[in-house]
Amino acid sequence: MKRVCIFCGSSPGTDPAFATAARSLASGLAASGLEVVYGGARCGLMGIVADAALAAGGRVIGVLPRALEAKELAHPRLTRLHLVDSMHERKALMADLSDAFVALPGGFGTLDEFCEVLTWAQLGIHAKPCGLLNAGGYFDGFLMQIRSAIAGGLTRPEHAALIRTATTPEELIGRLYEPVSAVIPKWLESDGR
């Protein structure tokens, strides 16, 4: 593993635990010799991630749509900044550049990014670890929704195991090195499709 992609909010949120987790995760990755790939912005948890990794001597690669750069959101001190034409291109490049994915607290964009790479893992498109840093219990509701999908027969329990969850950055970094489970077909044989 060389690079870890971090999905997180462009806002810092209201819970100080979010910023603390972002700083600790980013500095921990840098101390482990892992590069950070993220959305390229200077604001919110994204800016905190970049600043912490850079302060710890790490390399940080940003991927930012040109439309957002024009709004002066680009972080000015990144190791490398890739400018792309769309959000779709942003997600694809972040995935290509990364060996693992971690979501910190964030809004719709963060959930979209994490769910997309998680779906790709479920479908066998990649075999890269996908982790949630559940700072301040932020992802409790999301994890409950996954349990509801399993109970409703819409998701296999084995697919829920694709998500490595931890409450501390140190624990999550360690979990990223655990072997990735073999791909289990998404489609249930009993549904006739």
CATH of domain 3-177: 3.40.50.450
**102 vs 187: CA distance, rounded Å:** 26
Residues 156-193: pLDDT tens digits?
A: 888 899 999 999 999 999 999 998 766 666 654 554 43
For the residues 6-17, what does the mean pLDDT come to? 96
Q: For position 193, what pLDDT does the model report? A: 36
In the prediction, which pLDDT does 102 show? 98
Q: What is the mean pLDDT of residues 112-128?
A: 94
**pTM for this prediction:** 0.93
Q: Where are the alpha helices (DSSP H) in 36-100?
A: 44-55, 66-69, 87-97
3-state SS of the chain: helix, strand, coil percent to 5?
45, 20, 35
Query: Contact 149/119 with Cβ under 8 angstroms?
Result: no
pLDDT tens-digit map of 130-158: 999 999 999 999 999 999 999 999 988 88
Could you tell me where the DSSP H helices lie in the chain? 16-31, 44-55, 66-69, 87-97, 108-122, 140-151, 157-160, 169-176
pLDDT of residue 179: 85
Task: Indicate the domain borders of the chain.
Answer: 3-177
Q: Provide the percentage of residues in the chain whose pLDDT is more than 90.
A: 84
Query: Coil, helix or strand for 121?
Result: helix
pLDDT at 192: 43
Instruction: Report the distance separating Cα 77 and Cα 184, nearest Å.
Output: 42
pLDDT at 71: 84
Sign for the CA dihedral angle at 191, 145, 165, 127 comes to: positive
CA distance 174 to 167: 12
Residue identified by tokens 């001190």 is: 77
Tokens of 94: 């972040």
CA–CA separation, 10 and 35 (whole Å) = 20
- pLDDT recorded at residue 180: 75
- The answer to whether the beta carbons of residues 29 and 52 sit under 8 Å apart is no
What mean pLDDT comes out for the span 114-140? 95
- Three-state secondary-structure class, residue 163: strand
